[in-house]
Structures are given as C-alpha cells and as structure tokens.
Structure 1
Amino acid sequence: MSQTSALTLPDGLWLGRIWRAGIGPSLITLRQGRVIDISSKTTPTMRDALERADLAEFTATAPGEDIGALGDLAAGSIEARPEQTHLLAPNDLHAVKACGVTFARSMVERVIEERAAGNPARAAEIRARVADVIGNSLRDLIPGSAKAAEVKALLQAEGLWSQYLEVGIGPDAEVFTKAQPMSAVGYGASVGLHPISKWNNPEPEVVLAVNSKGEIVGATLGNDVNLRDVEGRSALLLGKAKDNNAAASIGPFIRVFDGDFTLDMVRNLELALTVTGADGFRLEGASSMRQISRDPADLVAQTRGRHHQYPDGFMLYCGTMFSPVQDRDGPGQGFTHHVGDVVSIAAPELGVLQNTVRLSTEAPEWRFGTAALMRNLAGRGLL
C-alpha cells in the first residue's frame, strides 16, 4: 500500500524543514506553492525561527532559494531513503512533549485499557460496564472543578476509579515526553510500532509549536502512535509504549500564527483520520478540538513555567478524542494496525500528515541527532 494523496496547503504562513541531498537539513517556507530554502546564519534552525519576535514577517519575507514545487517535494518524501531530498518533521531542537487523556472519550478508553490489562478481547465487555456507570457524566466536565470531584466520588464508589480519570478530570494534566529532540519523523516517512505490541492505533492530534518563553506561535498535525496493550499492562510502561524509533510523526509544516490563523482557530479545528490497509481494510475517524477538556493554553502552562523551562522551546501534542473500536481481525478484537497501513491525518487549515506503518525495528534508524546537526550547520557556515 502506497501513499497517493497529493499534499496541498491553504494560503498562510508556513515553516518546515527538509533534508537536501548532499547538503543536509534546511529551513523552508512556502510561497505560491514553491518551496523556498531560507536557512541563514541568523536563523539556521527552526528553534531560532520560532524565537523571533518578528516571526510572521520573517516567514513572509525572508530571502531564500527556490528549490522546487511542493507537490514534487511531497511525492519524493514518501518512504524516501535518508540521503534523498525529502520533508522532515518541522521541529528540530525542540523537546517533544505530549498531553494524554484530554478528551472525555479517550478517558473512557484509557479506563478500558487499564481494566483489560492489555487484552483486547476483554475490552468490549468492560466498555459496556463502564458506559453503564459513567454514561454522559464526563461531558462538559471541567477538570479540577467541584463537579469533577463529585464524579470522582461516584466512580470510586463503583470501584471504577482509575489513574487515567485522575489526570482526565483532576487538577493536574498528564504531560509526558513523547520523543527526543530531532527524533520525530515527517510527512511520507515510516511511522514505527514496537514489535512487542499486538494492540495499537494511530492518534490524530494537534501539535502546538511553543517557543522558550512559553508563547504558542503556531500549530501542526501529529500522530502520537499508541501501543494500547503495552500501556494497558501498566502505566509505568508509558515510556516503552510511546517513545520508540519513528513513533512520533509531526507535520507537514508548522502554520505560523497571524491575523488569519490564531489560537482561537486551533481551539475549533476538526481533524479527520483515515487508515487504509493492504488487506482492503479502511478505518475513518475524527477528533474535534472543540471537545477537548483542557484548553490548549492551560496545557502549555502546565508543561512550562517556573517549575520547568525549555530554552529551545517545545512541541506539544494536545491529545485526541479518537479511540478506535471497529473490529478488524475478529469480533470483539477491536482495531489494531497491520504493517503497511497508510495513516492520513488531515485538517483543512493544516493540510495532511501521511505515514506508512512499519515496525520500529524495520523503520530507518534514527542516526542524525543534535550533535550531527551542529556539525552540519557549522560545516555549511551557518553557525
């Protein structure tokens, strides 16, 4: 199964990164469908770009080199070899963080994962019981509120309280490290599953671009690949479930905030997900930012503050309401990926992020880290 959808983006201010064959990672923008390399001594990295006080003006006017059409670059990015010119994840030196259990629907599914202890065959039975007890009580619930405390007491009385509900409706958000700086993959790349996982799914999410001062300066799309059986066995396996080779996908570009694209627009984004398999299977889903339980600005404030600084800024996955229950391999088994699945995450305002599912052990190894980036930029006279 190969990716076939063309990458198109609406008018806006866009920043991204590519690997240029024979050169290395470069900072790019888009102008009238053309890809412009704007790498310079003053702004050699995406980290440096997002720190600029004149970010919108810089994105719109920075001089650079026209290196071709977006469509051609996107087509050449599909499972490209490392030495080929191709799109990269738009972030570079940023920490890659994620918030979990930020939607009522995903809260319920996390309770089910925990109760099923990683066994998808038990999930349907537990799902029915949890729904009978919880019903719609989590809808429109403000985390940390008095009403949330009442719901917590009800669930505890029914023996259904969970650590996932604690971070879902309690005062403190779940914030974890999704990937290391420089390890995320971009549009067209393989996205990786740890080979021990037999029950997993994509997670379509909005990813916020945040600079070192904690300012949200743009947004993009992300796939926070989820190993349901691994995390379901124990929340202490979160690192193993989330941070693996090629397990974080971000892109295709960061859309920079301006008068036409703002944080309020992010709060209303509608994400569409499609998974197509070589076996003819097709899964469609959605995630609406309108139904998030915690405001994106609050998630950023819980991530960065006097308690924790990010001198190179960070990318923040905001969570998803999407939890697939459609059976694929047998009744009651729910959904799980097959190697070769093509995952497409799209929003009209942010374009589309497409990746092909492989095992983390079969996806290209992550070899180009921060030290390699510094040496490359120095060798090109950009530092």
Structure 2
Amino acid sequence: MPIDAESAILGGRVWDPAAGGPSVVAVRGGELIDLSSTFPTMRDLFETDDAGMALSVAEGPSLGSFAEILANTIPETRDETRPWLLSPIDLQVVKAAGVTFAVSMVERVIEERVRGDLNAANEIRGKIMDTIGADLKAVKPGSPEAQKLKEYFIAEGLWSQYLEVGIGPDAEIFTKAPVLASVGTAVEVGIHSSSTWNNPEPEVVLAIDSKGRIIGATVGNDVNLRDIEGRSALLLPKAKDNNASGALGPFIRFFGEGFDLDDVRQTTVTLSIDGPDGFHLDATSPLAEISRDPADLAGQLLGEHHQYPDGAVLYLGTLFAPVIDRSEAGKGFTHKVGDIVRIAAPRLGSLVNRVELSERCAPWTFGIRDLMGNLASRGLL
C-alpha cells in the first residue's frame, strides 16, 4: 500500500468467484469495496467527470480485507472460491514510452550496435559514454540544441534510431500489451523462453481517460528482452509483448486532494531483485530526470491525431540501466526464473512479481467477449 494509504484514492479490480468474473473495487480502511453496480468496468470509472471523487463516494459491499485478498492472489496457495487481485485496468489500451531517459537511450544504442552480443556490450558502452558525456541530459528533445547534437552524432558515425526518439521531436510510443492482457501484483511475470538477456523496467504508469486527461497513476514493469530488441528494432513487438510481460498495480491512485500530476513528477521508483541464486540488486529511477514531461508524452499518445474511446495507460520509461554483472564479468544483468521483482513508489504502493517463462505463466484466457458476457449475465450492462 502507499505510505499514505488512509488518504489515498485507490481503485482496482478483483476476480470475484461468486460473480464468475471481475469487479471494480475501492480501497477503504483496509477493505476492498465492490463498486461493480456503479462502475461495471474501470473504463466506466475512468470516464466519470471526476473519477477520484466518484470513487470516493460510491458505495457497495466489502469483498474482504486487502491483506486477505492479496494473500489469496499468490497462485500456488490460492483458494479459488475466494476473491483475488487482478490488474487494475480492463478496457484501456496498454501503451509504453521508450527511450525517455538519457541512460536508457544509451543502452538502446548499445543494444543496436552489438545486436544482442553481450561480450561486445561493455566495450561499446564505454565508447558511447565517453562520446556523449553528460551533455545529453541537458538537451530538450526536439530543440535546436538537440538538432546540433544529432548532427554531431552523424558526423561521428554514432547516429541511431534510438537517439532519434531520445532527442528528436517525436517520442517512441508503442503497444505494450493487448486489452485485458496485463497482470497485477503477486503473480508471475513472463519472459520469452528464447531470450537469454532480459531485464525488468520499473516505471510510473499514467492512467488517461478518453479525453486525454491524466487522472491517476500506478507503478509497472515493462519487461524487456534486450537480446531480441537488440537484434532489430523491428522485433520490438516480440521483445515487449508476451504472455504476462506487462505488469502494473496493485491499484490505480486517482488524483484528488493531496495528490496530483506534480506529485507524480516527483516520484522516485525503486527496484529490488532477489534471485534464487542469492543475487540481490537495488536501483532507483527518479521521474524528475525524465527527458520528456509526462503531460507531453500523454499528449503525443492521445489527441486529435489519435483517439482511444476506452482510455489508456502509459508506461513512462525508466532510468534503470541493467549493467551490473550477475553471473560472469562483462555479461551484465539478466533474469533467472524464480527472481522476485519488487517495484515500488512511496505514494503508489508496491508491485511484486516472480519471474517465469511466458510459456509457463498462467495463460491469458479471459478476453473482451468473456468480459462483456459476464457483465451482461450479472445485469451490469
């Protein structure tokens, strides 16, 4: 839970076995309150004029305590006759912005240059860092200074498509997962079995309604397969969109008194990884160091040029650069099955997942047609 959970406006979803489907819930006094009769979907909540206020005043029965339902979410010990947590979104489009931090951009350049070759990564990483120095952090994407820097990189033979979206006018925004395919906390997060070089990406995730208004935020894990994307940027869909590869939650924190977009801008996301081999890693990603403002990224996603009638969520990118060696010197970091990944922010809460191969994670079987059928059978549509 957020450190100020008692005053936070938190909404999400649980699977309610009694209803045979998902229910929208609010968190109040440690209880999860079923609001499905007022908001059949999170999309309905997102589209309310003041979602935070509407969530605060809606009434419904308790489905149980957060602690009990969280404990029942863990697949190995789940009692499927009792509720468990789901991803806190449903019909929203799941998008992600890439190369929004300077360090992240450098790592993408490395991936492109070495085409997934771990042994060459350290050598070229040092060369690029010596060339770029600290100048990149001070350059505003799309500015005249960015254009001059682009010309310099071209002259040095270091220009890259990743540098284009890092300092050019247009952000990289891609589809992270299909509607309803994201996962929440306390369940497995997936990496494709063909990948041997991969990492978590701890990020703030914006909640955006169909009008383009940012109405809240959560934390997320934009799992990345570095070797696959490094072979070719055209393999981004395979590197990013696999079973259980997009995690977020546990809840959306909606804006209201005491929490707004400026608070999101000052968020520092923390990452910890504990492996079955005894490996431990801690890292931080301060959103204040992002190269593009969250509002600018939301505007590039949704506006007159592109509409999302059911709203969207947008992963904002990460400062985390996984260069710490894990198993062998010079090999950098990669996941092992069984890693426990904790992504947290003081005012957004903690997202905890165990790493597993995507092929072994719980399959995604409940789609849009299933959701509509379930809500109709419950008299909610």
Q: Same fold (TM over 0.5)?
A: yes
AA of the residue aligned to 2:201: E
Q: Aligned to 1:143, which of 141, 144, 149?
A: 141
| 1:39 matches 2:12 | no
**What's the CA shift for 1:143?**
0.1
AA of the residue aligned to 1:52: T
Q: Aligned to 1:75, which of 58, 71, 76?
A: 71
In the alignment, the residues of structure 2 paired with residue 56 and residue 271 of structure 1 have an alpha-carbon distance, to the nearest angstrom, of 23
Q: Aligned to 2:15, which of 14, 19, 23?
A: 19
- The answer (yes or no) to whether the contact 2:3–2:346 under 8 Å persists in 1 is no
AA of the residue aligned to 2:68: D
In the alignment, the residues of structure 1 paired with residue 2 and residue 305 of structure 2 have an alpha-carbon distance, to the nearest angstrom, of 40
Once the two structures are superposed, the pairs formed by residues 200-239 of structure 1 within 5 Å of their partners are 200-239=198-237
Cα deviation digits, residues 149-180 of structure 1 (max 9, x gap): 11111111111111000000000000100000
SS state at 1:138 partner: helix
Once the two structures are superposed, the pairs formed by residues 327-338 of structure 1 within 5 Å of their partners are 327-338=325-336
Cα deviation digits, residues 315-348 of structure 1 (max 9, x gap): 1001111111111110000000000000000000
Which residue does the alignment assign to 2:174?
Answer: 176
Q: Aligned to 1:257, which of 252, 255, 258?
A: 255
Which residue does the alignment assign to 2:265?
Answer: 267
SS state at 2:210 partner: coil
SS state at 1:139 partner: helix
In the alignment, the residues of structure 1 paired with residue 226 and residue 79 of structure 2 have an alpha-carbon distance, to the nearest angstrom, of 30
Paired residues in the alignment total 377
In structure 1, stretches of 5+ residues that fail to align are 1-5
In the alignment, the residues of structure 2 paired with residue 378 and residue 260 of structure 1 have an alpha-carbon distance, to the nearest angstrom, of 37
**What's the CA shift for 1:377?**
0.6
Once the two structures are superposed, the pairs formed by residues 1-383 of structure 1 within 5 Å of their partners are 10=5, 11-23=7-19, 24-40=21-37, 42-79=38-75, 83=80, 85-383=83-381
- The answer (yes or no) to whether the contact 1:271–1:286 under 8 Å persists in 2 is yes
Q: Compute the TM-score of the two structures, normalised by the length of structure 1.
A: 0.96
- The answer (yes or no) to whether the contact 1:8–1:71 under 8 Å persists in 2 is no
AA of the residue aligned to 2:72: G
- The answer (yes or no) to whether the contact 1:47–1:93 under 8 Å persists in 2 is yes
In the alignment, the residues of structure 1 paired with residue 53 and residue 154 of structure 2 have an alpha-carbon distance, to the nearest angstrom, of 53
- The answer (yes or no) to whether the contact 2:72–2:79 under 8 Å persists in 1 is no
AA of the residue aligned to 1:339: V
AA of the residue aligned to 2:48: R
In the alignment, the residues of structure 2 paired with residue 321 and residue 124 of structure 1 have an alpha-carbon distance, to the nearest angstrom, of 18
AA of the residue aligned to 1:25: P
In structure 2, stretches of 5+ residues that fail to align are none
Cα deviation digits, residues 100-134 of structure 1 (max 9, x gap): 00001101111111111011111110111001111
In the alignment, the residues of structure 1 paired with residue 261 and residue 74 of structure 2 have an alpha-carbon distance, to the nearest angstrom, of 30
Which residue does the alignment assign to 1:3?
Answer: none
**What's the CA shift for 1:82?**
9.5
Q: 1:82 to 1:223 in 2, by over 3 A?
A: farther
In the alignment, the residues of structure 1 paired with residue 61 and residue 293 of structure 2 have an alpha-carbon distance, to the nearest angstrom, of 39
In the alignment, the residues of structure 2 paired with residue 110 and residue 56 of structure 1 have an alpha-carbon distance, to the nearest angstrom, of 37
In the alignment, the residues of structure 2 paired with residue 76 and residue 159 of structure 1 have an alpha-carbon distance, to the nearest angstrom, of 54
Identity percentage over the alignment? 55
Cα deviation digits, residues 7-49 of structure 1 (max 9, x gap): 8762310000011123210000011111111111x42000000
Q: 1:8 to 1:71 in 2, by over 3 A?
A: farther
In the alignment, the residues of structure 2 paired with residue 345 and residue 8 of structure 1 have an alpha-carbon distance, to the nearest angstrom, of 14
